[in-house]
Structure 1
Amino acid sequence: MAQGVADTEMIRRQNRLLVLDALRRHGPLSRSQVAALTGLSNATLTAIAADLVGDGIVTEHAEPQSGTKARGRPAVQLVHNRNAGFVLLIELDVNRCRMSLLDYGGVLIDRVESGVGPTLFSEIAPAAWFIERIGQMIARNTEIGATLHGVSISVQGILDASGHGLTWSPIAHLGGHDIVTAIHGRLGLTARLFKRGRLMADGMRWLDPGLTGAGIATIYIGSTIGMGLILPTDANPDAGHATEFGHMIHIPGGALCRCGARGCVEAYAADYAILRAAYSVPEHAAPASAVPPADFQHIIARAHQGDRSAQRAFTMAGNAIGHGIGRLISIVEIDRLIFLGPNTAAYEHMEAGIVEGAAASLMGRMRGLPPIQRVPDAGEPIYRGLMMKTLTEIDKAFADRTSLPAARRSAE
């Protein structure tokens, strides 16, 4: 009997998650639409919907009528209850920090953006800085009260084994600190760290459902070089992997990278590397801590005008990226290659080098490059990936009833 009860409860949790997932992917839906998407029977869906509405997780509203002659009773749609709680997203990179407060429906409530300097985390401990900023956001939005379900932080670098901090980051002095435990200890909030490269790949799948089931590689080219990877075997649309593509060795003992190693792909392809090569600075010279966008645009303009030093710098950058891609497609099958970030503005000057570098490998010569897409603004895929990972985790907790909206908890 106990086993039967356990099985029934497991099925109930799975069905709750099916409904929440359908609403998360497709927005407000009628019961018949949810049934068609999930395969649940009408009777089962009616019971699950009543359950979710009763728990304050889902709410009902009338479907908007199209046209002026619409008649009859409007269909009732199910939608995530925006009042079920809030989440805080923090996007941190080498130049800036953006904090976004969202409700459970994914609607943006508040946003604060600030610059990040190279000495910031030498002046204040990273955990203390995050705690201070989170506290400021809570103080700005007193209505969220105890309904903040967690904090998700996108970072650049290599996460430690616990996932609570970073062992290394291009953001100076960020590594070596337990950020997650400190936030929970001081504020009582669950925090999670995510690598930016992984979020790019996840976000592109959410933004383009046509990529579902495809093998995609997203390559960020800007102040750093990063890659997100989703393999064709990753059936879960929000599955993804972060790789250290930028820190694969391109030329052993070669140009100095920000990570301290020599010969990394990034040491030839990031903005500081292109700047170094364009001005004939020795490749062992220390990388610039930051490259102003205007300076990089000036190098692009020089390349447009036929300046050979600038053109050579971009060709070298493309060649390093191309060699990395050649290694990648020798190991896994990629259906779409997506370049993201500000340096995509110089893609035409890197393209020949990318093609040549990829063709240096056997599979690069045999297969050629996968179809290529360029997305100049990497911010939206990163934000979408972070948002959907965070909200789907809350969906799972609500489906399992390991967490419930504050109003429902107080009623119980």
Structure 2
Amino acid sequence: MKYDLVVVGGGPAGLAAAVEAKKNGIENILVIERDKELGGILQQCIHNGFGLHEFKEQLTGPEYAGRFIKQLEEMNIEFKLDTMVLDVTPEKQIHAINTKDGYMLIDAKAVILAMGCRERTRGAISIPGERPAGIFTAGTAQRYVNMEGYMVGKKVLILGSGDIGLIMARRMTLEGAKVEAVVELMPFSGGLARNIAQCLNDYDIPLYLSHTIIDIKGKDRLESVTIAKVDENRKPISGTERTYEVDTLLLSVGLIPENDISRSTGVEIDGRTNGAVVNEMMQTNIDGIFACGNVLHVHDLVDFVSAEARKAGVAASKYIKGTVSDGDYKEIKNGFGIGYTVPQKFRANNIDKSLEVFMRVRNIYHDMKLEVKDGDNVIMSIKKPHVAPGEMEKIMIPKVILEKIQGNEITVELVRGDK
């Protein structure tokens, strides 16, 4: 099998990338999805709030996915469901398997990696205590309740204030469960401010920051969870223990980009994002292999995933057509307060009007300025009254500024607003 473009993953990133590549003149496209339907995680996200940026209206997850699936079908873009990609070689040969076609070798001129992300589990965070039934990741509970029709429990505690956990606090309440509390290890929430307001405050669900679980009890089914406040070193403080009698514990303790295939291919991974290192065209260190969406870095909104995926679709189209300009790379370094930036490097001659740089900050900061520096020279400065790790930031650096850079790198950092 030979295709111009193969997209690995049929979630929001893969769908948007394939549609955009088709719009840019690439005819022979294949989307490979391991699930039984397109749409990825959106199919179990039945709450609204999707599409405000992309479609200028509020949609549920399935509605949002449906818009892109419809475009895919109208454009006659080929896709394979229930198909597992086993390997992608640096030469852009895809090894895949399903029950209909058997083992397949697929050659592509370009590959877009759009595998999304997975949840961090109990084993990854080493919670002490017994191991009874009734402990789920928030996403698993979401699938059980929204798609399978199973109620996972009646008295619930949630560890971690990621967006899925916050949304499930509301969902469980609406289904008749009692959510005792949301417990967060960090001194700040990992979720969007609007989700804290709409999912916790509106339902009088308490959020305990700087707290963690120190014990779990239960023989067959979960019976109780004990939490405690933690100090600045995240160690439990004696005397602050509190025990909740619950039958269910949901874990919302972070998402990890699904990069097992990327690593085996030889894609360079950024240890801060757990996603690929990419350039201004969303291309990895391997020629003709691109990455976008949550497999690259975890996004807040699916609208941003779609926008980023479109960039990858356009870039892959240019690569297939042979219209990419070569040039010397400039690195994007992170200064004070910046956790990571994507992309990590760029060539100014491949940028049309401006370079979009996504980032997350390390802590909650007030009255700051976001500065971009060429050495000691400030080439761009933006006021930031409030920034937090739970909300992704982005800046647009005009091409005319990037073309004037003297050094081999630029630095993005936060500085006090009064400086």
TM-score range, shorter chain: under 0.3
The answer to which structure, 1 or 2, has the higher relative contact order (CA under 8 A, 6+ apart) is 2
- For normalisation by structure 1, the TM-score amounts to 0.26
Task: Tell me which protein shows more strand as a share of its residues.
Answer: 2
Give TM-score scaled by structure 2 length.
0.26
Between structure 1 and structure 2, the one with the greater Rg is: 1
Q: Which has the higher helix share?
A: 1
